[in-house]
Amino acid sequence: MPDYKAPLRDMRFLLDEVFDFPASYAAIGADDATPDMVGAILEEGAKFCEQVLAPLNRSGDEEECQFDNGVVTTPRGFKEAFAQYVEGGWMGLAADPAYGGQGLPHSLGLLISEMIGASNTSWGMYPGLTHGAMSAIHAHGSEEQKQIYLTRMTEGRWTGTMCLTEAHCGTDLGIIKTRAVPQADGSYAISGSKIFISAGEHDMSENIVHLVLAKLPDAPAGTRGISLFIVPKFLPGADGSVGDRNAVSCGSIEHKMGIKASATCVINFDSATGYLIGEANKGLNCMFTMMNHARLGTGMQGLCLGEASYQGAVKYAGERLQMRALTGPKAPDKPADPIIVHPDVRRMLLTMKAFNEGNRALAYFTAQLIDQAHAAASAEQRAEAEDLLALLTPICKAFMTETGLEATNLGMQVFGGHGFIREWGMEQLVRDCRIAPIYEGTNGIQALDLLGRKVLGSQGKLLRGFTRIVHKFCEAQAEHPQLKAQVAQLAGLNKQWGELTQKIGLAAMKNPDEVGAASMDYLMYAGYVILAYFWLRMALVAQDKLAAGSDEAAFYQAKLATCDFYFKRLLPRTAAHLAAAEAGSDCLMSLPAEHFAL
Amino acid sequence: MPDYKAPLRDMRFLLDEVFDFPASYAAIGADDATPDMVGAILEEGAKFCEQVLAPLNRSGDEEECQFDNGVVTTPRGFKEAFAQYVEGGWMGLAADPAYGGQGLPHSLGLLISEMIGASNTSWGMYPGLTHGAMSAIHAHGSEEQKQIYLTRMTEGRWTGTMCLTEAHCGTDLGIIKTRAVPQADGSYAISGSKIFISAGEHDMSENIVHLVLAKLPDAPAGTRGISLFIVPKFLPGADGSVGDRNAVSCGSIEHKMGIKASATCVINFDSATGYLIGEANKGLNCMFTMMNHARLGTGMQGLCLGEASYQGAVKYAGERLQMRALTGPKAPDKPADPIIVHPDVRRMLLTMKAFNEGNRALAYFTAQLIDQAHAAASAEQRAEAEDLLALLTPICKAFMTETGLEATNLGMQVFGGHGFIREWGMEQLVRDCRIAPIYEGTNGIQALDLLGRKVLGSQGKLLRGFTRIVHKFCEAQAEHPQLKAQVAQLAGLNKQWGELTQKIGLAAMKNPDEVGAASMDYLMYAGYVILAYFWLRMALVAQDKLAAGSDEAAFYQAKLATCDFYFKRLLPRTAAHLAAAEAGSDCLMSLPAEHFAL
């Protein structure tokens, strides 16, 4: 397994130099999140991830979770690492102080989760799902529910899950079969079977709090008839301690391609006691409020695994000796040159680097929006942040996982045959990454959400909220002595993005299939343009620092070189996505379904 | 695991209708390969693959090969399937009758290997490596060596391997350390350790014939000092039976991401007895003569796994009910529509279909060239076929595996969460496919071979041999009533291909890194253009058949729809590859190696 070193310098570059987090933390009243405090937290988090989680990553993959008669055992060391995590207070880092949390900004929680995901994605699923459940309870639970559940989850004594999918429906939650029957005491009897429940059963916590989508007996059909319930594994005792076992059981765990140390459970509810959370029949809305956060988290898995893979690939490329550089030996004292001398190896490494650092910028910008959506001073600022979040979230989820998967595959390719061997750990990163384009809403669903619901659904308003930012940036930098050519390139693409949107919008008025036909390529096009914007923002800072005579010239020059690479070699992919997005639905819909097999 | 059905109709379409194999078989004097005989062989092969190999594919992946103290046990049923294969005479199908083979055309052997690879890639490695070793012995062995080894390999009693890679060198064979010391009896004592030896040890055959690259004591440094040796596991007895055990042993097997039922061995030679094959110090040349064949075979693994994945995905997309079509319910009697109604699902399926069928056309065209290179009537025809083969082989290997990997990933994506679960078999196809861009020369090496050695190395001659064919085709079809727009598109890209080549060639004269900088995108560009050519050849036949009132209209219409999709949605990727290939080496080479980790 490649060693993981948290990219603290790059994180600080974005936080302090590109996005001015100190100012935005001050603006949301996060007085505790001083630069020193943030630095100290990141360093502590890095230590935990590098020293505790990373060493368990490959062994976790080899051992997998074990299932025996309803009991799930996580791999060696996982439970102890979780105890350390809880002990360190990490679970409550960004949680509400009213329920025991430290109340630090959400973005800081995401930075920690980046390091966790890069060092051990499987392990990160356990606290990750708990955070998701916590945010749903925080947003929609009653005060009593918060006191009972949220406080214990914040402490890390209880963990959480989200139980949505059933065997016959994943995307289409309108057709779930799990039923909730009202009981005399105000609780509900929940019956049904849920699948793909991450962290659904394990040995890390004393209780597991399932958030379950189910239908009331009189519920309307479809998604407007779904309610959300809290169904704990153990019922809370009168004093809030762990009481009787509820009729919730783990039927089996899945054997998967990757994230093998994350328990993916079938959870059976057999007239289990559940408690309605939020309003009846509004369960899907409750889920949606937490989805921005969860989808950004999933997008970050692409970044995490791309980063881990890059670190391994760069190290290997500097050590592996194979062939001579075409321009003559670079290490004449050795039997061959390190493969990093070869242009095609550099193409792979720079592709990874450009995606990782670009995606990190996108993720942090989005994380900053999450802070603002929660806590900006004015309602207007909060709404503006919400709008940008709504637009960027599906792009984060899908673009970052598509490109993250590409990055992990490239990292493996750099290793040649050794990349295919488990021992080296590079193929695990590909397998672990492969789920990210699928779960938390497939990337196809993200694309529909982006183009159909967000962009066209708002008559372009959400899109303009972002393209205006890019437009202003390009106007301001149009004469930048070093960057003006790239600024012009971005400005052109930004304009084209609007034109493409209009074109699809017009076509979609006649034929709704035009949205689905264009959506995935539209999303990828958008992602490449957005990354170009963030690469220029980073390049701008780097130019300024170099002009000011920084003593970290190499760091800033590497940023400029990677930006140059991105514009020359990756951004042209927009042309292919544009053509495909403009191609219309006929070439997809003309073949009758039964003729696909011919 | 998705059921596998050999795509016999599509195979016959290419053989009989597009490429006129009956005529080319007649032209090379393959009188036995009548259409009836070919049809019968393909049907028998299909039966074996569908009924014997496919059912062992998933169990083989789960069981993997087992290693115990030098002994390798293949998964349950593998040995018996191999016995059936041998019994059926498949090993000698395309082998020389002088050594017991049936002497059928090489292309026919490739068609059988396509079905084998699609039903069970791991299993296919055992006969595949044997065929590779057979062709090397056939081309370079002495008459005595052929009598001893080739006859038994043709029978299937003995199997073969190719032992090239060592722990410190894969691509760079010039630095191998395995040594061959001449012995008084004319044999050599071989000492060294080879890794990644597919089929290096197993329980299927009574003897294993290793072809080993090693250096003589006085060998010149680098690749011009490598010799090839036959090193059998058991020395042949005087009567040709299995004699004494040679000092060859399997040290361990690798634990891999995929093709887990293919034994990937460390093979140790401890003063083992070996026999020089071919001339001393010319071992790499001996290996190269068989590489065209092996590289096409590896390229076909991309096609095989893409096809298997497509079959699974189409079936699932027709059965899985999820959401309603945006244009209104298509299966109103069911709780939801089958997902094949959704444009984005169709995008994924058609991408797979377009790659699979396009790659199959490329593969069969190339297989036909192999026949001609071996057996065309005139030396001129043979040389012409060799030239085209030299150009197309690296493209087959790399383009077909890149796009095959994309196809298997899409097939998995169609399954949503279920795609990630081992039980469904879709993720295995991704894992099994992932090695194909790596082994038999990484795709990066193929790209260098194509651009550096083949295209620029021949001053463009090899390229013009192919672009001329495309040019003539486009001229002839320029006024085709239905296809002229696509013909014009292809003609433009074909011309642009030449211009791109010239541009890189000029730049490379000043700076050899320009070749490596452009090579991978150049190869992908070439692949897309070549597939466009083959798609039009298929579309042309389809148009003709429809015009003639074929009673298989649906089959031909599906071809036209897929061609249309390819031109509109996949071919535009050439724009991105063109821009990247033209971007030059500066953006790859400017970053100092030690700054990649910043």
pLDDT band for B287, please (50, 70, 90 cuts): confident
Name beta bridge partners: A189.
A181, A273
User: What average pLDDT does this structure show over B201-229?
Assistant: 96
What pLDDT, on the 0 to 100 scale, is given for residue A1?
61
Helices marked H in B436-512: 443-448, 461-476, 484-510
Of A206, A191, A130, give the one whose Cα is nearest residue A161: A130
Task: Tell which B residues from 156 to 175 touch A, by Cβ distance under 8 Å.
Answer: 165, 168-172, 175
B557 touches chain A (CB under 8 A): yes
User: What average pLDDT does this structure show over A146-169?
Assistant: 96
Of B496, B490, B467, give the one whose Cα is nearest residue B477: B490
pLDDT band for A304, please (50, 70, 90 cuts): very high
A556 → chain B, closest CA residue? B598
Examine the residue annotation and report whether A440 is marked as an active-site residue of this protein.
Answer: yes
Query: What residues have CB less than 8 Å from B448, skipping those under 6 apart?
Result: A344, B515, B516, B519
pLDDT digits (tens, 9 = 90+) for B403-451: 999 999 999 999 999 999 999 999 999 999 999 999 999 999 999 999 9
Handedness of CA A310, A316, A322, A327 (dihedral sign): positive
Compute the nearest-CA separation of B238 from chain A (Å): 39
Residue with tokens 């060596």: B145
Residue with tokens 């069969």: B364
Task: Tell which A residues from 245 to 284 touch B, by Cβ distance under 8 Å.
Answer: 254-258
Q: Is residue A494's pLDDT more than 70?
A: yes
Share of chain A above pLDDT 90, in %: 96
User: What separation, in Å, do the N-terminal and C-terminal C-alpha atoms of chain B show?
Assistant: 44
Distances (CA, A) of A589 to A446, A595, B326, B339, B562: 21, 12, 12, 13, 11
Q: Tell me the C-alpha distance between A534 and A400, whole Å.
A: 14
Cα Rg of chain A (Å, integer): 24
Of A229, A233, A246, give the one whose Cα is nearest residue A141: A229
Question: Furthest-apart CA pair in chain B: how many Å?
Answer: 83
Of B231, B236, B233, give the one whose Cα is nearest residue B205: B233
Q: Tell me the C-alpha distance between B177 and B213, whole Å.
A: 10
A334 touches chain B (CB under 8 A): no
Look at B437 and A413 and tell me if their CB atoms are within 8 Å: yes
What pLDDT, on the 0 to 100 scale, is given for residue B94?
96
Q: Are A230 and A210 in contact (CB under 8 A)?
A: yes
Mean pLDDT of chain A: 97
Question: Furthest-apart CA pair in chain A: how many Å?
Answer: 83
Task: Tell which B residues from 300 to 329 touch A, by Cβ distance under 8 Å.
Answer: 311, 314-315, 317-318, 321-323, 325-327
Look at A595 and B327 and tell me if their CB atoms are within 8 Å: no
List active site positions of B: 440
Cα Rg of chain B (Å, integer): 24
Share of chain A above pLDDT 70, in %: 100
What pLDDT, on the 0 to 100 scale, is given for residue A548?
98
ipTM above 0.90, yes or no: yes
A332 touches chain B (CB under 8 A): no
A394 touches chain B (CB under 8 A): no
A340 touches chain B (CB under 8 A): yes
Compute the nearest-CA separation of B433 from chain A (Å): 11
Distances (CA, A) of B425 to A68, A188, B62, B113, B399: 24, 38, 11, 21, 24
User: What average pLDDT does this structure show over A387-409?
Assistant: 98
Handedness of CA A79, A81, A84, A88 (dihedral sign): negative
Q: Is residue B290's pLDDT more than 80?
A: no
pLDDT digits (tens, 9 = 90+) for A418-430: 999 999 999 999 9
pLDDT digits (tens, 9 = 90+) for A162-186: 999 999 998 899 999 999 999 999 9
User: What average pLDDT does this structure show over B119-135?
Assistant: 97
B186 touches chain A (CB under 8 A): no
* Partner-chain residue, chosen from B196, B421, B569, that has the shortest CB–CB distance to A255: B421
* Partner-chain residue, chosen from A344, A417, A583, that has the shortest CB–CB distance to B170: A417
Q: Is residue A289's pLDDT more than 80?
A: no
pLDDT digits (tens, 9 = 90+) for B232-268: 999 998 777 899 999 999 999 999 999 999 999 999 9
Q: Tell me the C-alpha distance between B86 and B304, whole Å.
A: 22
Contact residues, chain A, for B345 at CB < 8 Å:
444
* Partner-chain residue, chosen from A315, A345, A416, that has the shortest CB–CB distance to B170: A416
B598 → chain A, closest CA residue? A555
User: What average pLDDT does this structure show over B328-341?
Assistant: 96
Can you spell out the DSSP letters for B455-470?
A: IITTTTHHHHHHHHHH
Q: Is residue A287's pLDDT more than 90?
A: no
Q: Are strands B207-214 and B158-163 parallel, antiparallel or unpaired?
A: parallel
- Of A169-178, A187-196, B151-160, B582-591, the least confident: A169-178
pLDDT band for A40, please (50, 70, 90 cuts): very high
Look at B576 and A579 and tell me if their CB atoms are within 8 Å: no
What pLDDT, on the 0 to 100 scale, is given for residue B292?
75
Element (H, E) at B192: strand B188-198
Element (H, E) at B388: helix B379-414
Of B134, B141, B143, give the one whose Cα is nearest residue B161: B134
B435 touches chain A (CB under 8 A): yes
Planar angle of CA A352, B355, B48, nearest 5 degrees: 115
Q: How many residues does chain A have?
A: 598
Tell me the domain boundaries of chain A: 444-589
Q: Are A301 and A246 in contact (CB under 8 A)?
A: no
Q: Is residue B1's pLDDT more than 80?
A: no
A422 → chain B, closest CA residue? B256
pLDDT digits (tens, 9 = 90+) for A546-587: 999 999 999 999 999 999 999 999 999 999 999 999 999 999
Q: Is residue A193's pLDDT more than 90?
A: yes
Residue A28 buriedness (CB in 10 A; 0-12 / 13-18 / 19+)? buried
A546 touches chain B (CB under 8 A): no
Of A570, A563, A569, A528, give the one whose Cα is nearest residue A543: A563
pLDDT digits (tens, 9 = 90+) for A243-263: 999 999 999 999 999 999 999
B345 touches chain A (CB under 8 A): yes
SS3 A167: coil
pLDDT digits (tens, 9 = 90+) for B355-405: 999 999 999 999 999 999 999 999 999 999 999 999 999 999 999 999 999
Phi, psi for B232 (deg, rounded to 5)? -80, 150
